[in-house]
Amino acid sequence: MSKKLYVGGLSYSTNDDGLRDGFSQAGEVISATVMMDKMTGRSRGFGFVEMADEEAMNRAIEMFDGKEFEGRTIRVNEARPLEDRPARSFKPRFGGDRGGHGGFRRSYDN
């Protein structure tokens, strides 16, 4: 059964192929994806690597966690399932329930 790894702290120049090639040293890589920003098309500095089995996953963590990869020290651990993360609450960015009356106020005293 395949195991997915979270890889953080990647160089912005790291691409899917570079991630796949590097992690293939630890075992069979099923997929490697660097997460990209939708607006700019640049790397977000993290990605996911799916290893073929648990042995390869553990070997990859041992080989790469806290080590230098393409010029940056990276963090590698088992990826958590999406449902295990706390929900993000939405908070209005501008004004909210305070009426939006911020900024400069002029005094009209004569």
Amino acid at 31: S
Contact status, residue 78 vs residue 57, Cβ threshold 8 Å: yes
Domain membership flag for residue 55 = yes
Domain membership flag for residue 95 = no
Question: How far is residue 49 from each of residues 32, 35, 69, 79, measured CA to CA in Å?
Answer: 4, 11, 14, 9
Domain membership flag for residue 99 = no
Domain membership flag for residue 75 = yes
d(CA 20, CA 4): 13
pLDDT per position in the chain (110 positions), as tens? 779 999 999 999 999 999 999 999 999 999 999 999 999 999 999 999 999 999 999 999 999 999 999 999 999 999 988 776 566 776 666 655 555 555 555 666 65
Output the pLDDT for position 81: 81
Output the pLDDT for position 2: 76
Domain membership flag for residue 94 = no
Domain membership flag for residue 32 = yes
Output the pLDDT for position 50: 97
What's the CATH number where 49 sits? 3.30.70.330
Domain membership flag for residue 34 = yes
Output the pLDDT for position 82: 74
**How many structural domains compose the chain?**
1
Backbone angles phi, psi at 96, to 5 degrees: 60, -130
Range of the domain at 19: 3-80
Domain membership flag for residue 62 = yes
